[in-house]
Chain A
Amino acid sequence: MKPSMKRRTFVGAAAASLPAVSILGAGSARAQVKEIRMIEAGGKSGESVEVGYIEPFTKKTGIKVIRESPNPLGKLRALVESGQTSTVLMELGSGGMLQARNLKLIEPIDWVAVAPQPMFPEAKHEYGFGYQYFSTIMAWRAGAKAPKTWADFFNTKDFPGKRCLPDYPNYAISFALLATGITPDKLFPLDVDTAFKKLNEIKKDIAVWWKAGAQAPQLMKDNEVQYAICWSGRVVGDPAFGVNFAGGMADLSYFTIVKNSKAEDRAAAYKLMHEMSIAANQAKAATVVSYTGPSPELDALLPKDKLAEYPTSKQNKDVQWVENAEWWAANGEAVNKKWEAFKLSL
């Protein structure tokens, strides 16, 4: 009995001493909170948040940020419905953010408290801080015939090779429609049935439907597939792949405020968001992963030779279209049923 008690006292003492150390480390900061928790997408994106925004934030305020990943919407629902108050920040895609808003899982952002530096307007959303632009684009194994348009990509006769498409209807359906000749400005509302017709035409050549972002580039490297629709950060700058931003989908990842989180945590989260709005920090984050922040002044701070790799550099932003998350928030569940039926027909 005794040894175990001893151990417990020791652990208790150690735990008690930890916050003391961090308070000392905070120096002059008057922070009431010592740490806040965020749920983010993980991987290189998470590292970029750490390097670009958390490090300068902790240096200024002494508040630590604990990261947790991955970030499915189901986790947010579990957090809120269980009544937790410990996690304040949640990263969500544009579609996920609107679903979370409709389900009342997140709270509006107090933009006055954030007091951001200049941002692109779509990034300054009522319910989310759009912190990271990413693109979904066509890519191919080096050496394969390069497609110029989505019609090319879906033309398996003239561009022979296996395809790898996302197992997410919002990507597959939109790009299939663009391949039929619809222009991006007339894309929404989506003509779902026409899209499935197009997908049915080439489904024999689609070897894999990916769920995880790492799958598509790996499958191209292994020569299992020759063409893929994938997230730009996974393929740009790698000589193993050819990429084309033309007709690609530009989308934003947002940080949102979890419902019922504590007021002092929220205040700290807004300060972290302020760090995210600073162009210099965004440039630092972009060195970790080829996704970019929402500052219009960012291009000037990025390395000139790498501008072709970023979703928001002028040459790429102009040839892409922006995801219509509102349409998906309203229609996503119904489309998913058709999607499952389509998958059963493979």
Chain B
Amino acid sequence: MTSSNRFEGFGFIAPLLVLMLVAFNAPIVYMLGLAFWEKGRGFTLEHYAGLLEAPVYLRVLGNTMRVALVATLANVIIGYPLALWMRGLGSRARMIALALVVLPFWVSILVRTYAWIVVLGNGGLVNRALQWSGLTDAPVSFLYNELGVTIGMANVLLPFLVLPLFAAMIRIDDRLLQAAASLGASPTTIFWKVFFPLTLPALAAGTLLVFILCLGFYITPAILGGGRVPMISNLLDTLINQIPRWETAAAISTVLLIVTLAIFAAYRRLDRKASAS
């Protein structure tokens, strides 16, 4: 009985499974293979050897990691207090706040990125306000550097962190906090000993999600980085479309995939340890 049920279930998911295999997994396998192949000569390791000989491409990968880390931290610093504040709101205000957080999702990423040029440019809203109020004499360079890329990425990715965090926070039973208070714990102690540990799994998952998404960002660094913030996606674009050295691009992509999987595995291990203890 159970086995036939299982088979029926398989029938339903088979189309999706085939779609995933053909449209998603097969190209990845092809990409992995491409890095080990040279036309006319067959198997080779020279594309990886090339990466080691001229480590500039790997340094771009390192730079990407650094920028992604900074953007993720910025997201945590903004997103955690925001989610916490939303938890304390009344139900109607909460709905409005939630809508405001999700709203940017419905606007094209391209439009949102260009909007930052209007807001943060030399003649933009922020700089005009700063100069008008006399805080600065010359315009502050918010754009076309790492700061601009970080701001743009944090803006785009904030909902990915806030939504799971908020969902975890509203599930926390208020009676736990009341119990801690009744036992004489100060608000700070309650937060760090009771509340924060309960949000930690969601925070870790959200942070990981944001970090991995940051690694693949293309549009934001291309527009707000002014060509001065080399990121791996933009390098891959050059290697795929301009040069076109797909084999090198495939080797870099493979390295990126392995690094990302390693980070994910480390997270899973930490997560399991945390839930076991």
Q: Number of B interface residues at 8 Å Cβ cutoff, please give it.
A: 27
| Chain A CB within 10 Å, residue with most, of B56, B63, B121 | B56
Closest to B230 in A: A343
Q: Which of B75-83, B171-179, B238-246 contacts A (4 or more CB under 8 A)?
A: B238-246
CB distance from B147 to the nearest CB of A (A): 13
Q: Mark A224-252, 1 if CB is under 8 A from B, else 0.
A: 10000000000000000000000000000
Q: Mark B217-246, 1 if CB is under 8 A from A, else 0.
A: 000001000111010000100101111111
Closest to B228 in A: A346
Question: Is the pair B56, A341 in contact by a Cβ cutoff of 8 Å?
Answer: yes
Given contacts A224-B122, A344-B230, contact A73 B144 (CB under 8 A): no
Given contacts A209-B228, A223-B122, A343-B230, contact A333 B235 (CB under 8 A): no
Partner of A340, one of B117, B230, B244: B230
CB distance from A24 to the nearest CB of B (A): 40
* Interface status of A305 (Cβ within 8 A of chain B): no
* Interface status of B59 (Cβ within 8 A of chain A): yes
CB distance from A89 to the nearest CB of B (A): 19
Question: Is the pair A207, B244 in contact by a Cβ cutoff of 8 Å?
Answer: no
* Interface status of A196 (Cβ within 8 A of chain B): no
Question: Is the pair A333, B245 in contact by a Cβ cutoff of 8 Å?
Answer: yes
CA distance A208 to B141 in the complex (A): 12
Question: Is the pair B243, A332 in contact by a Cβ cutoff of 8 Å?
Answer: yes
Q: List chain A residues, Cβ under 8 A from B243.
A: 73, 99, 332-333, 336
* Interface status of A77 (Cβ within 8 A of chain B): yes
Q: Mark B86-120, 1 if CB is under 8 A from A, else 0.
A: 00000000000000000000000000000001000
Partner of A77, one of B123, B222, B227, B246: B246
Q: List chain B residues, Cβ under 8 A from A210.
A: 227
CA distance A72 to B237 in the complex (A): 10
Q: List chain A residues, Cβ under 8 A from B63.
A: 344
CB distance from A209 to the nearest CB of B (A): 3
Size category, A interface = 20 to 34
Partner of B227, one of A72, A223, A336, A343: A343
Q: List chain B residues, Cβ under 8 A from A222.
A: 117, 121-123
CA distance A338 to B56 in the complex (A): 8
Q: List chain B residues, Cβ under 8 A from A148.
A: none
Question: Is the pair B242, A74 in contact by a Cβ cutoff of 8 Å?
Answer: yes
Question: Is the pair B241, A340 in contact by a Cβ cutoff of 8 Å?
Answer: no
CA distance A40 to B204 in the complex (A): 46
CB distance from A75 to the nearest CB of B (A): 7
CA distance A337 to B245 in the complex (A): 12
Q: Mark A65-94, 1 if CB is under 8 A from B, else 0.
A: 000000011110100000000000000000
List B46-92 residues whose CB lies under 8 Å from chain A: 54, 56-57, 59-60, 63
List A304-346 residues whose CB lies under 8 Å from chain B: 332-333, 336-338, 340-341, 343-344, 346
CA distance A207 to B117 in the complex (A): 14
CA distance A224 to B123 in the complex (A): 8
Partner of A72, one of B117, B122, B123, B242: B242
List A143-178 residues whose CB lies under 8 Å from chain B: 167
- Beyond A167-B227, A222-B117, A333-B243, 9 extra complex contacts between A and B, CB < 8 Å: A72-B241, A73-B244, A209-B228, A223-B122, A224-B144, A337-B54, A338-B56, A340-B230, A344-B56
21 contacts between A and B (CB under 8 A): A73-B241, A73-B242, A73-B243, A74-B242, A74-B244, A74-B246, A77-B244, A99-B244, A103-B244, A167-B227, A207-B226, A208-B228, A209-B227, A211-B222, A224-B144, A333-B245, A336-B238, A340-B60, A340-B230, A343-B228, A344-B59
Which residues of B come within 8 Å of A, CB atoms?
Answer: 54, 56-57, 59-60, 63, 117, 121-123, 141, 143-144, 222, 226-228, 230, 235, 238, 240-246
Closest CB pairs A-B (n = 4): A209-B227, A72-B241, A208-B226, A74-B241
